[in-house]
Amino acid sequence: MLPPLPASTRLSHSGTLAELSRDELTENGVVLCIDGAEQSHVELGDPEFLLHDYLRRMRSVLTALDPAAASVLHLGAGALTLPRWIAHWRPAAHQTVVDIEPELVGFVLEHLPLDPAPENVVADAAQVLTPGGALAGRAFEVAVVDLFNSSAAPAALSSSEFFASVWNALTPGGLMLVNFGDEADMGFARTLTTTLLQAVEDDDAASSLLSAPADVLAAQAEGNLVFAAARRGFTEPQLAQIWAAGPHPGDVLSGDELRAWCWAA
């Protein structure tokens, strides 16, 4: 049953307006918008339903790698769409959500409850894992970075040092997932993917992949991409399963093919 909507709150850190409203595209959909820009979609009563392409690609990686996911870190909260799916998939998972806006998670949970509620940490994602940060010294089996969607991303959240801090917070069998978007030329996406590879390249056992719609990878359309890096690497059967799980049309790049994509004109 849908809660009374629309509902809104002013976010004190940025001064922007967060609003939850009905999504007429689906039966029980709710959309979170911040200053009018859609951030998240939640299908109430059906955590398996993931509207956005990048979330389905993250799910494909998670189900193929099949980590225990006892501890999951989310840098960026939104409407907690992926935490809802993980809570359904791994009910015993302890999930920690980091967002710089003090009001956001509480506002979302007031109107769209999640049981169990995630641990809510109000902090700058760029600093939360560094020495003195609120989560310094903590280790996670899965870390999800979902903080920005364009080349306007702050330098502190798109640097090799930031991604290395996330990588170093993973357990020995850990997995890092990063969502980002770009315009059709994919210039920012290629540069950021190179940065991500640099952040994990010192780990000889690790391997990485990039998953996105086919027209996005071909630099024919704007859209979102998912980068994944696993400390124990991806096997060929796992890569095949991730590709098969889709969504389609899409592709999964890894190894030399991924590095060649990063340097393509």
- On whether residue 44 sits in a domain, the answer given is no
Any idea how long the chain is? 265
Q: Residue 26 and residue 78: Cα distance in Å, rounded?
A: 19
Q: What tens digit of pLDDT does each residue of 209-265 get?
A: 999 999 999 999 999 999 999 999 999 999 999 999 999 999 999 999 999 999 986
User: How many folded domains does the chain comprise?
Assistant: 1
* pLDDT score at 265: 63
* Structural domain for 176, as ranges: 52-263
pLDDT score of 205: 82
> Does a structural domain hold residue 23?
no
* Cα angle value 251/253/254 (rounded, 5°): 155
| Residue 208 C-alpha from the chain's centroid | 15
pLDDT at 151 > cutoff 80 = no
Per-residue pLDDT, 246:
97
The pLDDT value recorded for residue 104 is: 97
Token pair, residue 229, equals 């890096």
Half-sphere exposure of 20 toward its Cβ, with a 13 Å CA cutoff? 26
Is a pLDDT exceeding 90 seen at residue 83? yes
Residue 17 included in any domain? no
The values of phi and psi at residue 84, to 5°, are -65, -40
Q: Which two tokens stand for residue 90?
A: 């791994």
Q: pLDDT by residue (tens digit) across 128-137?
A: 999 999 999 9
Which tokens is 261 given?
Answer: 């994509």
- Report residue 261: phi and psi, to 5°: -65, -40
What are the tens digits of pLDDT across the range 31-54?
A: 999 999 899 999 998 999 999 999
**Is 21 part of a structural domain of the chain?**
no
Flag whether 220 is in a domain. yes
Q: Is residue 230 part of a domain?
A: yes
> Distance between CA 57 and CA 101 in Å, rounded?
27
Whole-number pLDDT of residue 7? 96
Within a domain: 99:
yes
Say what percent of the chain tops pLDDT 90: 89
What CATH number is given to the structural domain containing 165? 3.40.50.150
Question: Does the pLDDT at position 3 exceed 70?
Answer: yes
Do the domain assignments include residue 25? no
% pLDDT > 70, the chain: 99
Token output for 181: 């978007």
Task: Kindly provide the b/e burial profile for residues 31-65, where b requires at least 16 CB atoms within 10 angstroms of the residue's own CB.
Answer: bbbbeeeebbbbbbeebebbbbbbbbbbbbbbebb
Residues with Cβ within 8 Å of residue 232, at least 6 apart in sequence: 172, 173, 205, 206
